[in-house]
Amino acid sequence: MIEQLPQKKIRLLSLDAFRGLTVASMLLVNNPGDWGKIYAPFKHAEWHGCTPTDLVFPFFLFISGVSVSYALGSKREVSEGHAAIIIKVLKRSLILFGLGLLLGFIPDIFVEPVQTLQTFRIPGVLQRIALVYFAVSLIFLKTGWRAQGAILVFLLVLYWILMSFVPVPGTGYANLEPETNLGAWLDRLIITEPHLWKHSRTWDPEGLLGTLPAIATGLSGVLTGTWLRRTDLDDKKRVSLMFVAGLGSCVAGLLWDLHFPINKALWTSSYVLFSSGLAIMFLAFFYWLIDIKNMKAGIVPLLAYGVNAITAFFMSGLMAKMMGAIKVDMSDGTETSLKGWIYKSFFTPYFSDYNASLAFALVFVLFWLAILWWMYAKKIIIKI
């Protein structure tokens, strides 16, 4: 059995680099200068379909799954230590969930505390990461790779059945529309509308039911990590089969898309297969290039983002919110946010609309790269 084979214990630079690219991409697509002026590849799909931006979040969950395999692989065989590991995993999950809630609170909690508590968003990116990380870690600790694969398939099929065939209360039929699908109904029932995504309040892209297939995304990373840690394969075979598996997963996702459309907001089963397949191939390419061929020139920026990924995401998100909250008086007598002042003063005068918006996002990424590069050079890694 794969889980009984001797395991590699080295740290994968390719995984850190892939994580770094993913987090830098998160910052890029989350911080345009003007949300109304964004090039198509940097937008999410309107509903069904997939853009490069729609791949960022599943890539991160996939990478988290690979990391679980490496972090817990050597500890799984000693069942006596599982209780302590589970407590540690639970603690980390709660911290991640709490940080996500904190991003939802700030800065409104300081201005309108009562109103904020009544309307803050409970789901979110960090919250989903926390739930997926906890579930995937438990599954990895208590099962072998065959059971993990079976659970992955079960979650995808179960979610497909629930979303495609179970009638939605109040609507009367199963559907995949934003406000009337089963997941949206469940979120309104349990979380309630005031605590859902503020841009809709009737549905949430990180809702409860969609967490099931998101766990499957994490498990695809776990299985990939288990494959990478095998020592009975030569590198050529390991990477070749990863490309084959990734391509097969993409094709399966595209075929399922014909009946259960690829959709990031719903995190459909076809979306899991398609995005996980691409993630496997991306990691295989990075692994071949960096860890096997030892081509490490120019990867330090990616490593700087990769080793402090959560710090980069949280602190940059906090900075963006504060820049939007701080008000600045313009020379024409109008008031704008600090972000608006920076954008109008240093970007729009020198670039066309779409290029100005993109330039702002790129400078934002480079600003955080400078901080993270300094931290990397000083070996400062903030672990949660």
Contacts of 258 (CB under 8 A, 6+ apart): none
Q: Yes or no: say if 217 and 63 are a contact pair by the CB < 8 Å rule.
A: no
Query: Rounded to whole angstroms, how far apart are CA atoms 224 and 67?
Result: 10
* Residue range 249-261, pLDDT digits in tens: 999 999 999 999 9
pLDDT at 10: 58
What's the mean pLDDT when you consider all of the chain? 94
* Residue range 64-111, pLDDT digits in tens: 999 999 999 888 878 778 999 999 999 999 999 999 999 988 888 888
CB burial of residue 293 (10 Å; 0-12, 13-18, 19+): exposed
Closest listed residue to residue 277, CA positions, set 212, 205, 223: 223
pTM for this entry: 0.94
Q: pLDDT tier at 3 (50, 70, 90 boundaries)?
A: very low
CB burial of residue 167 (10 Å; 0-12, 13-18, 19+): exposed
pLDDT at 73: 87
Q: Taking the domains of the chain in order of start, what are their residue ranges?
A: 2-377
* Residue range 237-296, pLDDT digits in tens: 999 999 999 999 999 999 999 999 999 999 999 999 999 999 999 999 999 999 999 998
CB burial of residue 356 (10 Å; 0-12, 13-18, 19+): buried
If you search the block for the tokens 């549905």, which residue do you land on?
Answer: 203
What are the backbone angles phi and psi of residue 11, rounded to the nearest 5°? -85, 135
pLDDT at 8: 43
* Residue range 322-346, pLDDT digits in tens: 999 999 988 777 899 999 999 999 9
Query: Rounded to whole angstroms, how far apart are CA atoms 90 and 297?
Result: 37
Question: Which H or E element spans position 328?
Answer: strand 327-329
**Cβ of 240: how many Cβ atoms within 10 Å?**
14
Pairing mode, strands 335-337 and 327-329: antiparallel
If you search the block for the tokens 């407590």, which residue do you land on?
Answer: 87
CA angle 279, 285, 286 (to 5 degrees): 90
With a pLDDT cut of 70, the percent of the chain lying above it is 97
